[in-house]
Amino acid sequence: MEWINVKEVVIATLLSKLVLYFLPSLKHIWNKDPYGILTFQNIKLLEVGHCQSLKYFFPASLVRDLVQLQDLRVSSYGVEELVVKEDGVETAPRFVFPIMTSLRLMNLQQFKSFYPGTHTIMAFVEKAGGV
């Protein structure tokens, strides 16, 4: 996505499910937020497994758009952090997952943290008959 050089347009992708398995050389799903022009607000399922070279899942700036995320599954031996801290970010980020119902972290022998800096995680699970 580094080839994109437009800064005024924001494009909401229709991608709702991303599943990546058995990609031993994969180092990044997103190596950086593509200049803030793509949003992934429709993603409901993110699943990654057996990607030994993958060190983190996403940059912090991309997580703010994951408001539809319901299911996050990570099973990759090399993952150290789910969200990587980006250069120049001084304020403590706030990660909000209003409809997340499932978080599965498996076989993460190198795992250190969700996010390496100060942060807030908010997840709401709506139950039948109320919250």
Greater model confidence, 71 or 13: 71
Residue 85 has pLDDT above 50, yes or no: yes
Q: Which domain holds residue 95?
A: 11-123
Q: Could you tell me what percent of the chain has a pLDDT over 70?
A: 76
pLDDT tier, 22 (very low <50, low <70, confident <90, very high otherwise): very high
Burial group, residue 115, by CB count within 10 angstroms (0-12, 13-18, 19+): buried
* Domain-embedded: residue 130: no
DSSP count for the chain of H helices, then E strands: 1, 10
pLDDT tier, 17 (very low <50, low <70, confident <90, very high otherwise): very high
* Domain-embedded: residue 6: no
Residue 26 has pLDDT above 60, yes or no: yes
Pure H helices in 1-131: 60-63
Cα-based distances in Å from 75 to 7, 40, 51, 103: 34, 21, 8, 11
Round the average pLDDT of the chain to a whole number and report it.
78
pTM value? 0.74
* Count of domains observed in the chain: 1
21: β partners: 49
